[in-house]
A = this chain, B = another copy of it.
Amino acid sequence: MLKVIVPEEKNGLLPIDQLSDISMINQELARTLNDSQGIIAEMCNHLLHAGGKRIRPLLALYSGMIFSEQAKPRLIQAAIAVELVHMASLVHDDVIDESNLRRNRPSVNKLWGNQAAVLGGDYLFAKAFSVLAENHLVRNLNLTVQAIQEMCHGEIIQAEARFNLQQNLDDYYRRIAKKTAVLLQCACKCGAIVAGATEPQIEQIGAYGLNLGFAFQIVDDILDFSGDSTVMGKPKHEDLTQGNLTLPALLLIEHPQFGAWFKELIIHRQFSAEELRQIDKILAETGLIQTSFEIALSYIERAKQILDSFPDTRNRDFLVGMADQLKTRTQ
């Protein structure tokens, strides 16, 4: 029997309605995963209690509710499905990266081995499709499949680009679109579809999600250099040391004064603790962290602009708030 989770204290700054929506999403996730058995049930319990900001299901929920509040029960199902896909992909990513830590807690592969993690991820994917199929959300299902394909492709092109100095910012944006933004876009579109939005409305809310996704990933990539590893629940510089060259790194490569030195480090594929400290310092002092953050801000603004065309309702406010929350994101 899976336990029901209440939102964690760290979410204390969220509006009360959003907290209660997160609580409802958590309850529904627990109910959906209640038929799991053995190690997979333990894994699900672990994942449910590991928290998570539930950004994707909230996006699906509010993206639907701006079109129809009555659709809420079905929207919850659409929201759960997106979160299950996200959870599955995190579990599989940790297998691939051989990560030991996820959100300040041991990863599934660390606790129960690769077998439980690979099969447990499969179970979560299957559950996502089961929720969609049982609720006859066929179009959501098609979108979700496309998003999963993009995510797989994104992860693979990211791996292929490791330590590659020949890449440019376009490559980076293409990668984060596939890896992250497409699933947020999918979440928003799925919500709108369930709520009976028109095709242009579906596309528009999808564009909001896509822009939000870009901002979300860029902030994530900034935190890998400038974040607090205790708050983030994972070590810093994970991307860089694995050769994943993100926005701040790609900007630093182009820097007239420090670019050559940084490229040398990348070519040697090794970074001492002192060098990592230096990189952080240089990124701060040259203003490249600030530049990266401004790029993230521009995506946040673009996302909010798209929302302007929708009626000024509480649910639209939630979506605006979710974009704004990225500005102060620390984990």
Contacts and interface: CB of A to CB of B under 8 A. Distances in A.
Interface in A148-193: 148-149, 152-153, 155-157, 159-160
Residue among A39, A114, A156 with max Cβ neighbours from chain B (10 Å):
A156
Interface stretch (A117-125, A249-257, A281-289, A313-321): A117-125
Interface in A61-111: 88-89, 92, 95-96
> Which 9 pairs of residues, A with B, have the shortest CB-CB distance?
A130-B145, A133-B141, A119-B152, A126-B148, A96-B115, A126-B145, A129-B129, A123-B152, A92-B118
A115 B152 CA distance: 9
Contacts of A56: none
Contacts of A121: 118, 122
Given A38-B156, A134-B142, A138-B138, A95 B119 contact: no
Given A123-B152, A133-B141, A142-B130, A160 B96 contact: no
- Secondary structure dominating the interface of A: helix
A136 interface: yes
A136 B138 contact: yes
A237 interface: no
A12 to B, nearest CB: 35
28 contacts: A35-B149, A37-B153, A38-B153, A38-B156, A39-B156, A39-B160, A40-B153, A92-B122, A95-B95, A96-B114, A115-B159, A119-B156, A122-B152, A123-B148, A123-B149, A125-B125, A126-B145, A126-B148, A126-B149, A126-B152, A127-B145, A129-B129, A129-B141, A129-B145, A130-B146, A134-B142, A136-B138, A141-B141
A116 interface: yes
A145 B152 CA distance: 20
A241 B37 CA distance: 27
A149 to B, nearest CB: 6
Interface in A4-49: 35, 37-40
A138 B96 CA distance: 32
A258 B56 CA distance: 59
Contacts of A149: 35, 123, 126-127
B145 A38 contact: no
